[in-house]
Structure 1
Amino acid sequence: MGSRADTSRHEAVPKTMKALQYSKPEDFGVVEIDVPPIGEEDVLVKIEACGVCGTV
């Protein structure tokens, strides 16, 4: 068993992704950005769902 993951089973890395862009207090939104370069020791995680708690 090798030390590298078998990437043949995984889908290709997309060119863009959605990100939450925060500009200033109460000014944010979802934008489409380029996927940053992924280095040898980096991990790209695909998020299926996310939630935000509205309580303060």
Structure 2
Amino acid sequence: MEIEKFIELVPSFGFPVVITFMLLKYLMDNIKEKFDTLDRTLKELIDLIKDKKTLP
């Protein structure tokens, strides 16, 4: 959601509610990036373990 839409919501819902939603959106975006990194790293680790098992 764009910042302009949040600004339009301030008179309707109040400042604390709008700030809460902005923080929630920021946290969700940040957590998604961290989970994507974790997922990629775990896949790489699994591949390394599989390669290690196949070696004689």
Superposition TM-score, scaled by structure 2 size: 0.22
Higher relative contact order (CA 8 A, sep 6+): 1
Of Structure 1 and Structure 2, the greater strand share is in 1
Normalising by structure 1, we get a TM-score of 0.22
More helix by share: 2
